Chains A and B, each alone.
Chain A
Amino acid sequence: MTAKIRIRKLLVIPVKMLLAGAMLLPALAPAQEEVASSIRRYKGYEASTGYYEEYEVLPQRQRPFVTIPGVKRGVFPYSPAAAEVRNRSRLADSHLGIKFYETLRCETCHIQEARDIHTVRANLTCRQCHGGEPIASINHYYSPMNPIRRHAYVCAKCHEGASASYAGYVVHEPLAGSLKAKNSFPVLYYAYWFMFVLLVGTLAFFIPHSFLTGLRELFGKKGLPGNEADSKD
């Protein structure tokens, strides 16, 4: 019995000491919080300049990383630089070497990209954002489309006050239900299929349910109150 009490005391004392130690620790300093936060850390400064102190940085969360097929990085591995663009994303002239380039129109190759919300609804042309010839790759350092300045050089022309985060809006998004979206924009992909299953499931249940209700009420005898299924309840 005495031994048990002694063991208990031995356990209680370190716990109490730990608690006391935790209470005596200084509160988190704002500077620590700032450095520790992946959302707030020098966000405005980094976003507008592309630099943190003397180091070149990329705006957090909108890093224009180049993805490798089948290899996912992070929870939401989408890059506004378009994930499938791997080899040609840092060229000064992204169309260099394309045969008969002068005779081609943008939509000849970029079919899906030429039919997005900006072109269809706001009547924007490709060059209003991508600039004139030679059209630099979106990740080329001097391109206005480079994520470090896209918000200021491109988005803010219409969306006054656009931030680097705002420029993370994927203008040329993949088809939401496609495998391409699964690889490059999984959140959109799963959101699409969740809503699709919900829509189809709801209607697949309730349309036949309503139809059968109508049919039964039309042709069948209505159940009298005394004859219901659980009248004994």
Chain B
Amino acid sequence: MKQTARIKRFNKTDRIFHLFLMLTFLVQSVTGFSRLFHTTGWGRKLSAFLGGYETSFLIHQWVGILMIVGFILHIIYLLTKIQWNNLRASFFGPDSLVPNIHDLRHLGQRILWFFGIGAPPRFDRWTYWEKFDYWAVFWGLPLLAVTGLMLMFPLATSRILPGWSLNVAVLLHKAEAVLATTYIFIVHFFIGHLRPSSFPMNEGMFAGSLELEEVMSEKPAWVERLKNEGRLEAAAAKRPVLWYRVVYFVFGYAALGIGVYLLINGIIYSPYIQLH
């Protein structure tokens, strides 16, 4: 088999965090949908599959706590990655996920490119939609966590806040969950799996590396920067072994299948959703 040059995209910790988020998110989606659609036959079937309404709720609560722990660990990880003696580079450098003015420019260029008016933007390490993916989780998770904890401990919550805050918490929790699931199952899955340049799967998050040619076509500024800084050779990576590729392809497509199944049924039964 011809060996193509590859470039390292994500380190092990990033990939473990993503895997953790994938698993917990899918569990929360299934258990959450079983509750959200409990008034429908499909919702009840989903509940029954998970051991019943109460059991599904219990799983949802414990996995929610696990997600909160994961988020805290991620914050700690971020703190260790910050260059405290060079905060500017950490927050606004090209390797940072913090949105900047270039993202706006790239968005404009990309829109022009969509319609064949301009050339594609030269992305650096992160595209603006990748940054959006990251920050959507980053603000969405605390919102789900806070409202989820409020609903898990309503009596304790009502000692601090008035009881009607629970009404608002239910609404926010459900609405944010619907937003997160629809975004991930439509947009993220399409970008990661189905768009022509990713099909059948963008392997970066599982293999940790991507083919250099693929990266060159979408993120030329990043490759150029690595070259100029003399870091390109150090970023070279090996192709993952076959059995590992098989595992993550099966796993990735299983996740995609679950997501699409939930999405289609969610759309069919959407008239029965009560956000509060």
| CB proximity to B under 8 Å, residues A213-229 | 213-218, 220, 222-225, 227-229
Contact in complex: B119, A229 (CB < 8 Å): yes
Interface residue tally on A, bucketed by range: 35 or more
Contacts of B136 in A (CB 8 A): 202
Verify B196–A166 contact, CB threshold 8 A.
no
Complex contact A222–B217 (CB within 8 A): yes
Is B179 within 8 A of A214, CB to CB?
Answer: no
Most chain A beta-carbon contacts within 10 A, residue among B114, B132, B162:
B162
B275 within 8 A of A: yes
Judged by a CB distance under 8 angstroms, whether A120 is at the interface is yes
Would you call B176 and A195 a contact (CB within 8 A)?
A: yes
Q: Is A141 an interface residue (CB 8 A)?
A: no
A187 touches B164 (CB 8 A): yes
Q: Is B51 an interface residue (CB 8 A)?
A: no
Are A62 and B162 within 8 A (Cβ)? yes
Q: What separation, in Å, do the CA atoms of A173 and B165 have in the docked complex?
A: 12
- Chain B: residues with Cβ within 8 Å of the partner, total of 53
Query: B92 interface residue, CB < 8 Å from A?
Result: no
Whole-angstrom distance between the Cβ of B270 and the nearest chain A Cβ: 12
Q: Are A192 and B158 in contact (CB under 8 A)?
A: no
Residue numbers in B under 8 Å from A230 (CB-CB): 105, 109, 121-122
A207 within 8 A of B: yes
Tell me whether A216 and B105 are in contact (CB under 8 A): no
- Contact present for A168 and B163 (CB under 8 Å): yes
In the assembled complex, which residues on chain B have CB atoms less than 8 Å from the CB atom of A225? 122, 216-217, 220, 223-224
Say yes or no: is A191 at the interface (Cβ < 8 Å to chain B).
Answer: yes
Looking across the interface, which residue of chain A has its beta carbon closest to that of B123? A228
Q: Mark interface residues in B85-110 (1 if CB within 8 Å of A CB, else 0).
A: 00000000000000000000100010
Question: How many whole Å from B11's CB to the nearest CB in chain A?
Answer: 25
Let me know if B118 is at the binding interface, CB within 8 A.
yes
Which residue on chain A has the smallest CB distance to residue B35?
A121
- Min CB distance B202 to A, Å, is 13
Q: How many Å lie between the Cα of A62 and that of B274 in the bound state? A: 25
In the complex, the chain A residue whose C-beta lies closest to that of B178 is A199
Instruction: Find chain A residues with CB under 8 A from B23 CB.
Output: none
Among residues of B, the one whose C-beta sits closest to the C-beta of A155 is B163
Cβ-based interface call for B113 (8 A): yes
Other-chain residue from A159, A170, A198, A217 in contact with B197 (beta carbon distance below 8 A): A217
Complexed CA–CA distance, A123 and B120 (Å): 57
Which residues from A are CB-within-8-Å of B183?
202-203, 206
Whether the Cβ atoms of B164 and A76 lie closer than 8 Å is yes
The answer on a CB contact under 8 Å between B196 and A121 is no
Residues in chain B within 8 A of chain A (CB atoms): 38-39, 105, 109, 112-114, 116, 118-122, 129, 132, 136, 154-155, 158-159, 161-164, 166-168, 170-172, 175-176, 178-179, 182-183, 186-187, 190-191, 194-197, 216-217, 220-221, 223-224, 274-276
Interface residues of A (CB under 8 A from B): 61-62, 76, 78, 80, 117, 120-121, 159, 161-163, 165-170, 173, 176, 185, 187-188, 191-192, 195-196, 198-199, 202-203, 206-207, 209-210, 212-218, 220, 222-225, 227-231, 233
Pull 6 A–B residue pairs with CB atoms less than 8 Å apart, ordered by A: A62-B162, A120-B39, A169-B154, A195-B275, A203-B183, A229-B121
